[in-house]
Structure 1
Amino acid sequence: MAGALLLPLGAAAQDGTGAAIALDPAGHGTGEPVAAFDPARAGMQSAGQGAALLAALGHDPAPFDINDTGRTKTATPTPAPAAAAPPAIGNGAPGTGAATPGSRAPTATTPSAPSSSGTSTPATAGAPQAPRPGAGVPERLAELISSQLAHFAQRPADQQALAAFYAARNFQPVFTAAGAITPLGIAALGAFNGAAAEGLNPADYAVPPLPAQMGDGVLADYELRVAGTTLLYARHVQSGRFDPKRISKDVDPTPTVPDPLDVLATVSSAPNAAQAFASFAPHYDEYRLLKLQLGRRLAEGQGQVHAAIPPGPSIRPGERDPRVPLLRERLGIGGAADDEIYDAYLVEAVRDFQRLSGAAPDGIVGRGTLAALNGGAGDSLDDLIANMERWRWLPHQVAPTYVMVNIPEYMVRIVVNEQTIHETRVVVGKPENQTPIMSEEMQYAVFNPSWNVPPGIIKNEMLPKLQADPYALDRQGIDVVRNGRIIDPGTVDWRRGSQGYSFRQAPGERNALGRMKFMFPNKHSVYLHDTPSRALFARDRRAFSHGCVRVHEPLKFAEVLFGVGLPGDAWSQQRINSLIGGNEKYLNLKQRFPVHLVYFTSYVDGQGQLVTREDIYGINDATKAMLGLDDTRRLADRGGMVAPR
């Protein structure tokens, strides 16, 4: 996540090909080379001859107009399918994953008749000419689109896009030409075959190879298979393979689902088709760094899962404990199999692990360290893939400025041009009151806020207190309000419930929101705010709130936030502090930017190390289950939840 990466100036990471990705002081990459696709390596005999793309290089494609009657068409197209719903998340298409990845392109030539001298004799003028290979493909494409489009794309939006795309170009193919695969087709097959590098399964984007002998009908079928699979691949790599809202009501992101017609226009008109396919993957630097980690582990054949270390009392240096051998195995520290002494070498390894996990390096193996160690099976491929999947839940367009809260890390960062300019600790929601995963827009700040108690807290926490003691909330500075007036809580029979009453805490030192709150209006009614319970920031595990995010050192956070949200206004901490006290005050931002509440249990730190955090809400495990990871290894969603065996 933005800002988790704090590499020294000038440090660099390498991608799977050995090329460097420059890392800035915050550890962010600045780009990534795209390896060229090798047809011979993919099992192709010939790359064939390329055809002209949809538009000349460097020019925009002609606009698609299915109703344009001014074009000469080789076949009369049928109307496009009925208007489709907006692009949906996930939803795999039929026909993919059914064959070996790759495609075999035959050599398409028309040899001349040999003469007695061994040289070729040109065809006699006026003699019948052999039909050009692929000449009948447009007509066959029109027929397939009119009658069998559902065979190549399951989603109505994809079907409509395929019909509009090919009708606009008079059903001329783009992935094949003259009986062979075009450079664009080769780029598409390269992306499908290399899907594992993006945490996807190449088998889910497999296209059966072209046979040695083929007719125009086979070429047209192949063209639509590649086109339909292009839409499936682009949607999966950009916005994910399932709708994340299926996990729980608190998982509520808004992935950017690509428009299928835009996908076809992008890949067919781009000067570099391989880069066009690469552009659908998340553009965040941290995603690229996770991708590098995945590539290295795939190359090294890693992905093992460590045995879980059982819970129990804290293990302190010098103590004997039967779990010590498992601890040695987990951290890769040698020792006798029956050595149960927690010695100095193992203590130092635990301290290193605690530093990487963001915990205090005290060498004591307590509950938090055990949870991180067991979650540290997150070094496996499955956890890397699950975290890469959650990067697809963010808006595809990277905003110049954004705020990001990584819930399992208990950190918030302000990011400008992919550089972290401020970071601090936060307290997030308890597992029973989870901070939601979502993105909204930061709009304003409130000083000296009142706290209007949410209904859930009233029902679950305050009502039982009132039933035991009507004045319990009064002693906390919380007023009971009915019809806009404060009433005496002792006059109410709380056994009958709290309907018709609201609860409000006035501004002040005891206010649960502290001195200020930072607002990004959302349906979950969560926000970032100060807190009077500042001792909680000293803890390593900071899941204590009712869902809102409590910010450490809010004055400093506000100073940096206003610096980008109110440019040129010189909001110093001293000026901000002058607003504290008295009634509520509102401060609207001139420049608005997104706030991303995210959930990454695996990320790369500033030293290039893969860091694993506790899966406090179980969302990482749920992601793996939805993807069918672990034992099943089925990565693409097929319309229903895939549970691991």
Structure 2
Amino acid sequence: MKTTSKAALLAAVTGMVFAAQTSGAFAQRSLFDILFGEQPRVDRRGATLEGPVGAAPVTNGARASSSRAPADFDGSDPDPLPTVKKSQYFTYKPEAQRPVKVPASAGPVVTGSVSSDGTAAPLAPVSVSLRAEDSIASAMESFYAKGDTYLWITNEAVTDRARAAAAVLQKAAEVGLNPADYKVDEPILSGDPAADRQKLMTFELEMTKAVLTYVQDDVRGRIDPNRISDYYEFKRKDVNLKGALAIMQRSPDVAAYLSSRDPSSPQFQALKAELARESGAANNDQKPRIEVSLTSLLRPGQSNPELPKIIELIKQHGSDGLKAENAMTLESYTGSPDYAPELVDVVKAFQKEKGMKPDGVIGKSTVRALQGGDSQGNKVNKLIYAMEQARWLPNDLGSRRVFINQPAFMVYYFNDNKQQLAMKVVVGGVNHQTNFFQDQIETVEFNPYWGVPRSIIVNEMLPKLRQDPSYLDRMGYEVSVRGKVVSSSALDWGRNPDVDVRQPPGNANALGQLKILFPNKFSIYMHDTPQKSFFARDMRALSHGCVRLSDPRAMAAAVLGVDKDKVAADIATGKNMSVPVPSKIPVYVAYFTAWPNAEGKVEFFDDVYGRDTYLQRAMDATTKARAQG
């Protein structure tokens, strides 16, 4: 860049800093507010992403491209700008299936298999070609190694225990599974001994495969979430399928055993009960649902032909008190598309009643509330997705735990299985999504440094630094290379220096006064923020990936087992300090568009990241692969 251009940029940056300082705003604004705030970044769904956030040295599992330490400038062109790769979604690949190597068997002795002279006819070996996932194939191979052990057939027919097991498989939808994945048709015997032996053995093996698949799916879920995206991080549960076969061989009630494999957590049971209710409602005749189609926000004073539908929905879903208070307006409304002031007041009242920001602006969240939430069909799907994802988590979430539900933009603290805290959070924007994983809270850090994430250094700061290397020094940020503190203006940013940047503690620190750490490969954590205004928004997917807390002192006090006065005193020292929690606490950084609240009532939320769509694709791919196997 020409020298004059650098000078111009430097002057502009200096002016911005000076203006912020003289206006008194400097203490409330961070480096990114001042340098990058003049052009808000907008994600692909139109959400504004503002300000610095506490993501990690590499957010969202990102990997930095190779970089080098500073080198003497040799006059050549600077290295191309590197980038830090973001997490991504994959084309889902179901579990591979392989041949099941069961020894060829004579099969069951079918009545009538005698020769013309009355002696037993020699039995030709029966061979069944079958493919299954490796874990299932291995369990079957071990069980049938002797070649004469059968679970579901006798010498002549299918057993009642087989029919009892099949009845459970046919009701798989009640626990959020797909009955098509476990369908096995009972054979129709013809009286031909050879043909019937083949049919019975085929049924035996296919039934065993179906039952084992059901048991495995019921315990750990159908889908490997790590194959959907690297936004997920889960170790799949181990399921003892060999032990399951041994139990079923001895059990007098196979159906009861299969049902016992359902997750027993109160959260799963609440989802299951809600699925039964919503499935019944979806199958019954319902009053036609009013669908509102807004392509943009409807603001006061504007006109839109969808407005009559909106007013009708308020009549349907507003409280009796709201309708009584606004009876004159509602009764006199003639269906005009003009969003007049008196109608704005009605909408504001409805928004306030639903716990939303009462601004009278009608957007996606307001329409969803007006329609009473999702349709029955959407609710059923969200419940199925939630039940699948619940299987990825421990059956017992822990009597003391922290549970973050990203689509709800909320975090909850439980002690002795009782919810003691619930507060609003800000999570990652669509372009900086917060991951889905579980971990353990280990420490609370007061007056933290903000270690600027590698992704922000590379993707957002480096282009600016190449134009003006000194601004980090002016803003008080610390720059180090391999642990040695250096001046940012002394570095050759044209050579992609491998540096660390951090913001010291203070009022403008991006992490506020504290952060709560649960070390993970995504370097996501919970923290305070100076940008309190974000908590007034309904849609709070606005950060670079970390989780901002609306009441961080309350959460810190809860996990440390102290009162808020103690937290305030630690902050008041102004010293950077890390305090370990007395005992590690499970934390779930979760993503559920349907989840029960503290009273057990299932609530539904918008799919802010579109992850339900990817999960559905994975389910479809799995069912297709199993049908072909």
Place the TM-score, normalised by the shorter chain, in its bin. 0.5 to 0.7
Instruction: Give the aligned residue type for 1:491.
Output: A
Please report how far the alpha carbon of residue 370 of structure 1 lies from its aligned counterpart in structure 2 after TM superposition.
4.5
Tell me how far 1:337 sits from its aligned partner.
Answer: 11
Instruction: Determine the structure 2 residue equivalent to 1:512.
Output: 510
Matching of residues 13-24 of structure 1 within 5 Å: none
Which residues in structure 2 correspond to 1:169-188 (within 5 Å)?
171-177=148-154, 179=156, 181-182=158-159, 184-188=161-165
- Maintained 8 Å contact 1:443/1:589: yes
CA separation of 1:532 and 1:362: change in aligned 2, threshold 3 A: closer
Q: How far did 1:243 drift?
A: 2.4
Partner of 1:546: 544
Q: Could you give the per-residue CA deviations for residues 130-164 of structure 1, whole angstroms, max 9, x where no partner exists? A: 99xxxx9xx99xx76xx64xx44412221111122
1:287 corresponds to which of 257, 260, 268? 268
**Does the aligned pair in 1 maintain the 2:181–2:627 contact within 8 Å?**
no
Distance 1:94 1:329, change over 3 A: farther
Separation of aligned partners in 2, 1:590 and 1:497: 45
Aligned to 1:324: 307
Contact 1:89–1:241, Cα closer than 8 Å, also in 2? no
2:625 is the counterpart of 1:638: yes
Q: 2:200: which partner in 1?
A: 219
- Residues 103-252 of structure 1 correspond to what in structure 2 (within 5 A)? 148=128, 151-167=129-145, 171-177=148-154, 179=156, 181-182=158-159, 184-213=161-190, 215-252=196-233
- Deviation of residue 497 (structure 1)? 5.0
Once the two structures are superposed, residues 452-509 of structure 1 have per-residue CA deviations (whole angstroms, 9 ceiling, x without a partner) of 2121010122223334443433454321212433322223343x15422210122333
Bigger drift between 175-184 and 446-455 goes to 175-184
Q: What is the deviation of 1:285?
A: 2.5
On the 8 A contact 1:165/1:264 being kept in 2, the answer is yes
The residue aligned with 1:587 is 579
Moved more, 612-621 or 250-259: 250-259
Q: Given residue 294 of structure 2, which amino acid in structure 1 is its aligned partner?
A: P
DSSP-derived class of the 1:614 partner: coil
Counterpart in the other structure of 1:24: none
Q: 5+ residue gaps in structure 2?
A: 1-91, 100-109, 113-117, 318-329
* Unpaired stretches in structure 1, ≥5 consecutive residues: 1-87, 96-107, 111-128, 564-570, 629-633
| Aligned-pair CA distance for 1:400 | 3.4
- Aligned twin of 1:441: 440
SS of match in other structure, 2:205: helix
Question: 2:473 touches 2:489 (CA, 8 Å); kept in 1?
Answer: no
Q: CA 1:282–1:130 in 2, change beyond 3 Å: closer, same or farther?
A: farther
Corresponding residue of 2:399: 400
Judging changes above 3 Å, is the alpha-carbon distance between structure 1 residues 202 and 493 closer, same or farther for their aligned structure 2 residues? same
User: Could you tell me how far 1:313 is from its partner in structure 2?
Assistant: 3.4
Q: Which residue of 557, 564, 572 corresponds with 1:573?
A: 564
Equivalent AA in structure 2 for residue 285 of structure 1: P
Deviation of 1:194 after TM superposition, in Å, equals 0.2
Q: Against the structure 1 CA distance between its residues 439 and 270, is the aligned structure 2 distance closer, same or farther, given a 3 Å change threshold?
A: farther
Is the alpha carbon distance of 1:217 and 1:346 closer, same or farther for their aligned partners in structure 2, counting shifts above 3 Å? farther
Deviation at 1:437, TM superposition (A): 0.8
Is 1:525 aligned to residue 523 of structure 2? Answer: yes
The one-character-per-residue Cα deviations of 1:57-91 (angstroms, maximum 9, x if unpaired) are xxxxxxxxxxxxxxxxxxxxxxxxxxxxxxx9953
Q: Which residue of 2 aligns with 1:365?
A: 362
SS across alignment from 1:278:
helix
Of 192-201 and 208-217, the range deviating more from structure 2:
208-217
Distance, in Å, in 1 between the alignment partners of 2:531 and 2:593 is 26
Which whole-Å deviations, capped at 9, do the CAs of 1:157-195 have from their partners, x for residues lacking one? 211111223448x84323344645556434421221101
CA 1:607–1:559 in structure 2 vs 1: closer, same or farther (change >3 Å)?
closer
**Rounded Cα–Cα distance in structure 2 between residues aligned with 1:157 and 1:247:** 20
Aligned CA distance change for structure 1 residues 159 and 246 (closer, same or farther; 3 Å): closer
Matches within 5 A, 1:619-630: 619-628=611-620
Residue 404 of structure 1: CA displacement? Answer: 1.3
Aligned-residue CA RMSD in angstroms? 4.2
Relative distance call for 1:354 and 1:173 in structure 2 (3 A) is farther
Amino acid at match of 1:529: H
Indicate the residue corresponding to 1:558 in structure 2.
556
Task: Give the structure, 1 or 2, with the largest relative contact order (CA under 8 Å, sep 6 or more).
Answer: 2
- One-letter code of the match for 1:323? E
* Cα-to-partner distance string for 1:86-112 (whole Å, 9 max, x where unaligned): xx99538699xxxxxxxxxxxx999xx
State the secondary structure of the residue aligned to 2:233: coil
CA drift of 1:247 comes to 3.0
**What is the one-letter code of the residue matched to 1:300?**
A
> 2:559 is matched by which residue type in structure 1?
L
SS in 2 for 1:636: helix
More helix by share: 2
Q: Is 2:282–2:377's contact at 8 Å kept on the other side of the alignment?
A: no
Partner of 1:277: 258
Once the two structures are TM-superposed, the CA of residue 519 in structure 1 deviates from its matched residue by 1.8
Moved more, 408-417 or 337-346: 337-346
Q: Are 2:275 and 1:298 aligned?
A: no
- The 1-side partners of 2:344 and 2:377 are apart by 20
Q: What displacement does 1:443 show?
A: 2.4
Q: Corresponding residue for 1:462? A: 461
Query: 1:605 Cα shift?
Result: 4.6
Do 2:446 and 2:514's aligned partners in 1 also have CA atoms closer than 8 Å?
Answer: yes
Distance change in 2, residues 1:90/1:288 (3 Å): farther
Opposite residue 141 of structure 2, the aligned amino acid is: A
In structure 1, distance between residues paired with 2:466 and 2:399: 51
Counterpart residue identity of residue 526, structure 1: I
The aligned residue for residue 293 of structure 2 is 309
CA gap 1:274/1:518 in 2 versus in 1, 3 angstroms: farther
2:17 — aligned with what? Answer: none
Deviations 1:490-546 (A, max 9, x none): 23343x154222101223333222232222211111111222223322222222221
Q: Is the 8 A contact 1:152 1:228 kept in 2?
A: no
CA distance in 2: counterparts of 1:330 and 1:268, whole angstroms? 57
Write out per-residue CA displacement over residues 320-366 of structure 1, whole angstroms, 9 at most, x where no aligned residue.
5212245467778499996536698998689668766x633555413
Report percent identity of matched pairs.
29
Q: TM-score with structure 1 length normalisation?
A: 0.66
Partner of 2:245: 264
CA apart distance, 1:407: 0.6
Q: Quick check: 2:595–2:603 contact (8 Å CA) kept in 1?
A: yes
Quick one: distance in 2 between partners of 1:362 and 1:604? 29
